[in-house]
Amino acid sequence: MRQKVTKAIFPVAGLGTRFLPATKSIPKEIMTLVDRPLIQYAIDEARAAGIKEFIFVTSRGKGALEDYFDINPVLEQALRKAGKDALLETLKATNMESGAIAYIRQHKALGLGHAVWCARRLISNEPFAVILPDDVIAADTPVLQQMVEAFEETGDGSAMVAAMEVPKEKTSAYGVLDVDEDMGSLVRVKGMVEKPKAEDAPSNLAVIGRYILTPKVLQNINKVKGGAGGEIQLTDAIAEEIAKERNVYGYRFRGQRFDCGSKAGFLQATVAFGMAREDLRDEFTTYLEEMMSLRKAAQ
């Protein structure tokens, strides 16, 4: 019987130093993109893909992240009393059912591979997803849902990583796929390299923060030594799986990805998501057009 993907790991232990001083007191994942924190976009995407169990790999100072998904009876009562039903429904979407969410501590910042490995006892012997909240993707069909559907269609239980084409000169910022067979939206992978120099990159197809992995990848992490940056890289564990089993796919997703781990990416996402909102589009677009007119006049 084919196993379904019902669990997802969210590695959220990072310090978010690129966003200091804001992240001195709040987790980066709580930073707001329009009117929802980054983590809410990730959770909504996971729910759309059929995820039922949510595993957060955290660290010290992430209490606000845990509180965000808790029920707030006082606030809910105030909204109900004021007749603000729409806001009440919006608030309920942030609540998680009892037992649906678990928190695991990563005591040392040893890399993404190590963060995923920390959740190994909650995964058991089944496929699971990994979502990096920094990667926010605007898509008609949520990306993890696209991948789960593709994973089920392949039917062979192979691991899968989301991939997109990047300029060759930027490959050093990503894990990069070495493609064995290009089948369109799916590519069969014969290797992966973490942050290669442009001249050494096997392709310009870069891995971004969505994965469907197997328990075998967790076993591989046990054997992986420090890779790029001295950290335990998830890419290296997946590469080990490719070398052994030859059963990893890259998936060219449909959508626009924003790197909200960078200030520029966060601002770009704010503009894109703001303009996509019907209640904000007209006023926001007018403002942006005025700003561009002023800039041209100043030149």
- With cut-offs at 50, 70 and 90, classify the pLDDT of residue 52: very high
Return the pLDDT at 145. Answer: 96
Average pLDDT over the chain reads 87
Q: Which residue in 120, 136, 139 sits closest to 128, CA to CA?
A: 120
Q: How far apart are CA 197 and CA 250, in angstroms?
A: 20
Residue 40 lies in a domain: yes
The contacts of residue 16 (CB under 8 Å, 6+ apart) are 22, 23, 27, 28
The count of structural domains within the chain is 1
Residue 87 lies in a domain: yes
Q: Which residue in 210, 214, 213, 239 sits closest to 224, CA to CA?
A: 239
Residue 298 lies in a domain: no
Long-range pairs, 279-285, Cβ under 8 A, ≥24: 280/34
Long-range pairs, 69-74, Cβ under 8 A, ≥24: 69/43, 69/94, 69/95, 69/96, 69/101, 70/95, 70/96, 71/95
The vertex-271 CA angle with 269 and 39, nearest 5°, equals 35
Q: Which residue in 163, 160, 145 sits closest to 242, CA to CA?
A: 160
Is the pLDDT assigned to residue 228 strictly greater than 70? no
Return the pLDDT at 230. Answer: 60
Domain that holds residue 186: 7-261
Q: How far apart are CA 201 and CA 238, in angstroms?
A: 17
Residue 221, token pair as written in the block: 């992490």
Is the pLDDT assigned to residue 53 strictly greater than 80? yes
DSSP 19-73: GTTGGGTS-GGGSEETTEEHHHHHHHHHHHTT--EEEEEE-TT-HHHHHHTS--H
DSSP 255-285: SEEEETTSHHHHHHHHHHHHHH-TTTHHHHH
In three-state secondary structure terms, 212 is strand
What pLDDT, in 10s, does the model give residues 6-41? 999 999 988 888 988 988 888 889 999 998 999 999
Residue 269 lies in a domain: no
Task: Report how far apart, in Å, the C-alpha atoms of 208 and of each of 35, 67, 143, 277 are.
Answer: 24, 28, 11, 25
Q: How far apart are CA 255 and CA 138, in angstroms?
A: 5
Instruction: Please give the share of the chain, as a percent, with pLDDT higher than 70.
Output: 95
Return the pLDDT at 224. Answer: 61
CB-based contact 130:8 (threshold 8 Å): yes
Residue 74 lies in a domain: yes
Is the pLDDT assigned to residue 221 strictly greater than 90? no
Q: What is the CATH number of the domain that holds 143?
A: 3.90.550.10
Is the pLDDT assigned to residue 131 strictly greater than 90? yes
Mean pLDDT in residue range 51-66: 87
Is the pLDDT assigned to residue 229 strictly greater than 80? no
CB-based contact 264:272 (threshold 8 Å): no
Return the pLDDT at 113. Answer: 84
Residue 294 lies in a domain: no
Return the pLDDT at 186. Answer: 92
Residue 122 lies in a domain: yes
Return the pLDDT at 299. Answer: 67
- With cut-offs at 50, 70 and 90, classify the pLDDT of residue 218: confident
Residue 274 lies in a domain: no
What pLDDT, in 10s, does the model give residues 201-213? 888 899 999 999 9
Residue 6, token pair as written in the block: 């019902």
Task: Report how far apart, in Å, the C-alpha atoms of 298 and of each of 288, 292, 294 are.
Answer: 15, 10, 6
Q: How far apart are CA 78 and CA 294, in angstroms?
A: 44
